[in-house]
Homo-oligomer: A and B are copies of this chain.
């Protein structure tokens, strides 16, 4: 792992790092905020998965998470959303290929060689974090935005024992039922929709996966709400399955980091409570 940059912030250190990923076959960049802490102590870890078109940088610059993470003593990890580089295949659209890994392990050519963001987030990057940072890996939480909200919910639903806390900002709740999901999963996984269910939060809940609880905030003025995000499908799936969930429609908020940053302090507080 190499350090790209470190900046002192809110008493801690905001760093950006790069490492050679065996999963993606590319260098991968991520950011980590480590709050001030007593030497030798280990801190809980909150994962933040970003949305379409983003890198680690969007939330690092605009997410306004450091103040709350410093207050609660929580490490904040922000990975990239896909492999990068000239040799990595790409698509013309903003919603597939680079910047749009969808947190799946691709099985279709030419994507399967590099687009292994599921294994990268589930296995490879946690080992890097555990090795290089004062992280208590027994206390992990996960959140994310949009495509990253989908990533957070599905990764947690498939492995609930790994996380003590799960939340999402404006998540894609059902790739089976929206154009973004249909394009991405057809491309990465193939046309067999039964294979998509492990990458669909609603389907995972229908199929029996459970979390202790989850927190979702969704803006009512989000231009993607009706056509892509469809929060009501998650409300219905949770209600039918008896999955405890706090799903809040936030009046007048859109899909931007102005929305995310507004509710970031509450989400971090909610995670911190469960990570203590």
List of B residues within 8 angstroms of A206 by Cβ: none
A8 in contact with B252 given A67-B67, A67-B265, A265-B67 (CB within 8 Å) = yes
Task: Tell me the bound Cα distance from A261 to B252 in angstroms.
Answer: 26
Answer whether residue A215 sits at the interface, using C-beta atoms and an 8 A cutoff. Answer: no
How many chain A residues sit at the interface, stated as a range, is: 20 to 34
A76 to chain B, nearest CB (A): 13
Number of copies: 2
Chain A contact residues, majority secondary structure:
mixed
Task: Tell me the bound Cα distance from A11 to B253 in angstroms.
Answer: 9
A65 to chain B, nearest CB (A): 10
Contact assessment for A14 and B258 in the assembled complex, using a CB-CB cutoff below 8 Å = yes
Which of A10, A254, A256, A262 has the most chain B CB atoms inside 10 A of its CB?
A: A262
- Chain B: which residue is nearest A13 at the CB level? B252
Interface residues of A in 249-272 (CB under 8 A from B): 252-254, 256-259, 261-262, 265
Could you give 29 example pairs across A and B, Cβ below 8 Å? A7-B254, A7-B256, A7-B258, A7-B259, A8-B219, A8-B221, A8-B252, A8-B253, A8-B254, A8-B258, A8-B259, A9-B258, A9-B259, A9-B261, A9-B262, A10-B261, A10-B262, A14-B258, A61-B61, A61-B62, A61-B257, A62-B62, A64-B64, A64-B67, A64-B261, A66-B261, A66-B262, A67-B67, A67-B261
